[in-house]
Amino acid sequence: MRTRKIPQRKCVACQEMMPKKELIRIVRSPQGDIQIDLTGKKPGRGAYLCGKTSCFKLAKKSKAFERALKTPVEPEIYDKLEADFIKVEDEFQANKELMQDDDDE
């Protein structure tokens, strides 16, 4: 049986290629609002980010979201995203550890 291909995506901050499931997706919906998408299935243009706060701060400083989402991102949106990112960071890390445990079995 053939092994399945694992989709790879690049973190917009550190430019590191990683499996898609190990990254957090930031999505710009067709209506124009920007939010975190932990499921990876919401419609819209996405940008991927490592689960590290340092990568989020680097993306904010270098305006990586503006380039990746192809839209201007207001400072208020960055602040809201940062608060949401800190909230979901622990949940994301816990899910990532669970997936690694499942893969080991």
pTM of the model: 0.81
Please tell me the distance from the alpha carbon of residue 9 to that of residue 51, in angstroms, as a whole number: 13
Average pLDDT over residues 39-54: 90
Homologous superfamily of the 8-102 domain (CATH):
YlxR-like (3.30.1230.10)
Distance in angstroms (rounded) separating the CA atoms of residues 39 and 49: 14
- Write down the pLDDT at residue 85: 84
- Taking only the tens place, the pLDDT of each residue in 52-81 is 888 888 999 999 999 999 999 998 988 888
Three-class SS of the chain: CCCCCCCEEEECCCCCEEEHHHCEEEEECCCCCEEEECCCCCCCEEEEECCCHHHHHHHHHHCHHHHHHCCCCCHHHHHHHHHHHHHHHHHHHHHHHHHHHHHHC
Residue 99 confidence (pLDDT) above 70: no
9 versus 38: the higher-pLDDT residue is: 9
